[in-house]
Amino acid sequence: MLRILTGKTLPRRTLLKGVGASLALPFLDAMFPAFGLRGQSVPKPVHRFQTFYVPNGMAMEYWSPTGEGPDFALTPILEPLAPFKDQMLVLSGLRANWVQIHAGASGSFLTGIPQGGRTETEIIADVSMDQLLARKFGQETQLASLELSMDASANAGACSSNLSCVYTHTLSWRGPTQPLPTEYNPRVVFERLFGDTGSTDRAAREARLRQQSSILDSVTDKIGALSRKIGAQDQIKVEQYTEALRDVERRIQKAEEQIDIELPNFEQPEGAPPVFEDHLELMMDLKLLALQADLTRVITFMIGKEQSPRPYPQIDVPDAHHPLSHHNNQPELVERMSRINRYHTQLFSQYLTKLRDTPDVDGNLLDNMTILYGSGISNSTRHSGQNLPLLVMGGGAGTLQGGRHLTYSDEPGMANLLVTLLDKLGLPVDAHGASTGALQLDPLPGV
């Protein structure tokens, strides 16, 4: 390859500029310093963080594994994650720092606070873990963080026990009174990642989109020029990346075209079950592109807001999710709830597969990620904050040792876990939220 022959390398932050767009390249071999070049070394893997939040608690009977350490059996909800068991930490025994209500479940998930506001208009929390990381990693990336959801965000009104809807609609807080809204529209996310609209006005955006049919079209010549300077393997990577980018763009445009299609008269069900999977796959692919091109290293994602009423008839659960979660421990309703929980891990497994199949420095994207999966409620029928359903997934860029079920009999607060994860991500802190110390995740010496 060129770098071996000449000792020249591409900058890690290579951007191809176009009309109203910029294309950040994924990791390429040509971004490595030439082997043996004096004063240069192979770059270290980039450590990335993401949450994958599921609302309305868990059917704990179908979640909690038996056995501890490496000798644990996957339960029905966790079975879809079997291909990733070696990069899975199941955590049992942690308690929420603030729950009793849905606002407390999501409101404290990354902030670790013991209490939020007390009225619809009193909005108080603390800086969330992801935003501490965004301050650090944002110095190296185009976007400090992405806050995504499958639901439109609500920044006003009361949603949970007369508390502000911001608590149930986001996990991210830039400051004690600065909740960050989530974005659910794939077009907006796409333009934020790859296109500069130049205006927030809808008409101006639409005019630009008509003028520029494809973001990739504006950088095609530069992609061609780049391809003549890199090796064969890098050319394959660039082609695969740009094809994935063009595919996401095409799917977004097709979804927008179908919005105006006149539908036959019928009673529209709550939520959008027929479109949910397509929407979710677009959001997952956008996250993948953002991570692959190192546009951001911090993502929060909510597959549903707290109190989500989305039904799942596609898995024979036509019930609205939130009412079903208050099952009063009736076995048949708990089993039905477990199907939703299992479906979420199936969808999560598809995303993990995409991460694992994407090459990165010294492995793949999943190797170099820490992903916090779970809910801020356990038994949802009584809004329990005891024994939260939590997973830590990924290789953590060498900082995580998976394949274990860890139980904590002293019921430490979840904020202790956040302290430990921050440390592993290179941002040690003395405390976070209501933490009382760090949580032991690594195997003890000799054990």
Segment 372-379 mean pLDDT: 97
Beta strand 298-302 pairing with 146-149: parallel
**3-state SS of 409-444?**
CCCCEHHHHHHHHHHHCCCCCCCCCCCCCCCCCCCC
pLDDT in tens, 273-303: 347 898 999 999 999 989 998 889 999 999 9
Angle at 191 between CA 139 and CA 143, to 5 degrees: 10
The single-letter code of the amino acid at 407 is T
Sequence-distant (6+) residues with CB within 8 A of 336 are: 317, 319, 324, 327
Are 379 and 60 spatial neighbours (Cβ–Cβ below 8 Å)? yes
The single-letter code of the amino acid at 324 is L
Q: Quote the CA–CA distance of 28 and 403 in Å, as a whole number.
A: 30
User: Residue 408's pLDDT is what?
Assistant: 97
Lowest mean pLDDT among 241-250, 271-280, 415-424: 271-280
Give pTM, 2 decimals. 0.83
Q: Check residues 86 and 223 and name the one with the higher pLDDT.
A: 86
Segment 385-405 mean pLDDT: 97
What DSSP designation does 314 have?
G
Name beta bridge partners: 92: 407
- CA of residue 438 relative to chain centroid, distance: 23
Task: Provide the mean pLDDT of the chain.
Answer: 83
User: Residue 362's pLDDT is what?
Assistant: 84
User: Residue 446's pLDDT is what?
Assistant: 56
Q: Distance of CA 211 to CAs 4, 86, 195, Å?
A: 41, 48, 13
Segment 167-171 mean pLDDT: 92
Q: Is 198 left (phi over 0), alpha (psi -120 to 50) or beta?
A: left
pLDDT in tens, 35-71: 444 455 566 889 999 999 999 999 999 999 999 999 9
User: Residue 341's pLDDT is what?
Assistant: 98
pLDDT at 270 over 90: no
pLDDT in tens, 310-336: 999 999 999 999 999 999 999 999 999
User: Residue 30's pLDDT is what?
Assistant: 67
User: Residue 80's pLDDT is what?
Assistant: 98
User: Residue 225's pLDDT is what?
Assistant: 72
Computed over its alpha carbons, how large is the radius of gyration of the chain? 22
